[in-house]
Homo-oligomer: A and B are copies of this chain.
């Protein structure tokens, strides 16, 4: 049994508590008590939050950081960025993928992320043929997460087409299983591999309505329903997807997914930037979550999605660092509110408490960890300490600590991270992997 003590902690259903003692047994929180002092306990400094859930990640995109920005002479777009991303995708093998994902996941842990949803579509060898183990690339992601010290939801992604009515092209052959039946067979094997693992959930993803023909969607939905597994899908990140979908099918991507049984409370629509009123109503009514990835949506010039409106319609909102232009879930959290302010010219759409809920509890639920992401008895013992004495977070009353953390702290203010009761980060150092900057440097160099 380990006991941790926090001067300040964020307890369910959403209140700041002082002098909090958290006892851990078998990786779960056994008890949370207040006012008992910290004698004999391991101290966690600053404000202690539940572990953060990064609900949308493409680990290998980390190799692109800073590279797609430096020449702004041209007028780039999402689509030109995608060409650069495909260049990296084409050069990865299992060893390179392992090194890059491990380092990227370790960067996440240092930022307080204790659970990641990896939206994984880089399945096959560069020529499009399966590896000897068709799940070789999936297995290295599991290994990477374990070595980095965080829990993983591996969202094995169905990606069959290069666009609506277009076969896969170039590197996209690495993504495609041919049809959804073949995808389901491969994913079933992956699921079986980790059926008894306590640290991995295998879920499903529909890459997008661009990449999965309508007549294949039901197969993915059925596989996920059979396993009660999470299903994620990129939805309406760019207007062109909406245009193409309407032209081919006569409906929006959201409506198409709904018509084929993809929406529902185990499902997350990622981005959901360009929605119709009907889309918002459908997502909310079905209880489909919406994952906002604001720093990526800024970076790719996607636009500002209707986070407040989907929440009001009934959709839980979660957060993802997606392309890892930056890895900082506090920045993602405040960006949801700040970008809505830019779009609406009003403040106060999201409280700090609501943004923390998106970054913790709601994210975990969407990744198939329904009891994680809160500091309560029975939950996995995932704890994140954010210092309140840095130049960014110092100054002000304890009562405002959550506001300072959500609206001013950065990943650099995360000092200590506990996953399943084990301290993985102490005083900003990754205890399992050491110098994560050096790991990133080597891993990125190997794929450029």
Contact = CB atoms under 8 A, between A and B. Distances in A.
A107 interface: yes
Interface in A291-314: 297-304
A407 to B, nearest CB: 5
B392 A326 contact: yes
B69 A438 contact: no
Interface stretch (A116-124, A166-174, A396-404): A396-404
Contacts of A441: 389, 394-395
Given A342-B339, A348-B76, A437-B390, A396 B65 contact: yes
A400 B444 CA distance: 12
Contact of A407 (B75, B325, B396): B325
A62 interface: yes
Given A298-B338, A441-B395, A67 B403 contact: yes
Given A391-B110, A395-B63, A81 B347 contact: yes
Nearest to A80: B347
A393 B438 CA distance: 11
Interface stretch (A126-134, A191-199, A349-357): A349-357
Contact of A66 (B75, B301, B408, B444): B408
Given A77-B346, A444-B396, A299 B338 contact: yes
Given A394-B438, A397-B448, 17 more contacts: A65-B407, A66-B393, A66-B407, A66-B408, A67-B396, A71-B351, A75-B348, A76-B346, A299-B338, A301-B346, A302-B345, A327-B391, A342-B342, A391-B437, A393-B437, A395-B440, A410-B410
Given A389-B438, A396-B444, A72 B301 contact: no
